[in-house]
C-alpha cells in the first residue's frame, strides 16, 4: 500500500484540474492546503506534529495575506473539534476560543481533516471536501487491492 503522504499527494493531484477550473470564478488564484494525519487525535499529538502535508498553489512569495497561516488555523479548529469549522462557527459558537479564526474552509470526512485558505471561504470548504473524499477513496482502492493481493495478511 502507498503511505499516507503519497496518497494525499495523489489526491491533490487528482483534484487540481478542478481547483484550476474553479479559479476561473474565485476572487484570486492562490490557495494553501493543510491535511492532518488521520491516524492522530488531538490528545495523542501536538497540532504541528499532526500535520501530514501542506501545499501552496499560486505564487506564495507574492501573497499579501498569509494564507498558509489561515489554512493552518482552520485545520487546527477542525482537527480539535472533529467537525468542519463551519459547524463550530454557525451551530456551536460557544466553543470558539480566543484566537480562533472566524473564517471557515475546512472539511472533516471520517478522520480526515483538510483545510484550505486563499479563495472565498465557501470555495475553500469545497476544495477541502474534494481533497478529503479523494484521500478516502484512493485509500479505499489501495486497501482493497492490497486485500486482493495479500488475502491472508492479518494486519496492516
Q: In which band, very low, low, confident or very high, does the pLDDT at 156 lie, cut at 50, 70 and 90?
A: confident
Task: For residue 21, tell me if it sits in a domain.
Answer: yes
Domain harbouring 68, CATH code? 3.30.450.150
Task: For residue 115, tell me if it sits in a domain.
Answer: yes
pLDDT at 155 over 90: no
For 1-13, the DSSP string reads ---HHHHHHHHHH
Residue 130 cell numbers, joined:
474534494
State the chain's mean pLDDT as an integer. Answer: 96
Task: For residue 20, tell me if it sits in a domain.
Answer: yes
| Structural domain for 132, as ranges | 4-149
Contact 37, 4 (CB under 8 A): yes
pLDDT given for residue 87 in this prediction: 97
Task: For residue 102, tell me if it sits in a domain.
Answer: yes
Q: In which band, very low, low, confident or very high, does the pLDDT at 64 lie, cut at 50, 70 and 90?
A: very high
Task: For residue 16, tell me if it sits in a domain.
Answer: yes
Mean pLDDT, residues 103-117 taken together: 98
Task: For residue 154, tell me if it sits in a domain.
Answer: no
Task: For residue 155, tell me if it sits in a domain.
Answer: no
Task: For residue 156, tell me if it sits in a domain.
Answer: no
pLDDT at 12 over 90: yes
pLDDT at 154 over 90: no
pLDDT given for residue 126 in this prediction: 98
pTM of the shown model: 0.95
Number of domains into which the chain is organized: 1
Amino acid at each position: 500500500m502507498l503511505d499516507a503522504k503519497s496518497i494525499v499527494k495523489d489526491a491533490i493531484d487528482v483534484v487540481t484540474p478542478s481547483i484550476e477550473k474553479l479559479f476561473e470564478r474565485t476572487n484570486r488564484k492562490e490557495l494553501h492546503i493543510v491535511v492532518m494525519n488521520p491516524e492522530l487525535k488531538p490528545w495523542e499529538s501536538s497540532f504541528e506534529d499532526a500535520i501530514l502535508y501542506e501545499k501552496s498553489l499560486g505564487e506564495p512569495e507574492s501573497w499579501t495575506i498569509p494564507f498558509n497561516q489561515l489554512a493552518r488555523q482552520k485545520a487546527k479548529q477542525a482537527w480539535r473539534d472533529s467537525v468542519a469549522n463551519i459547524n463550530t462557527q454557525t451551530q456551536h459558537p460557544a466553543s470558539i476560543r480566543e484566537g480562533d479564526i472566524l473564517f471557515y474552509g475546512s472539511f472533516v470526512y471520517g478522520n480526515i481533516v483538510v483545510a484550505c485558505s486563499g479563495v472565498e471561504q465557501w470555495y475553500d470548504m469545497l476544495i477541502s471536501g474534494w481533497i478529503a473524499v479523494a484521500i478516502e477513496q484512493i485509500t479505499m482502492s489501495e486497501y482493497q487491492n492490497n486485500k486482493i493481493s495479500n488475502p491472508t495478511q492479518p494486519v496492516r
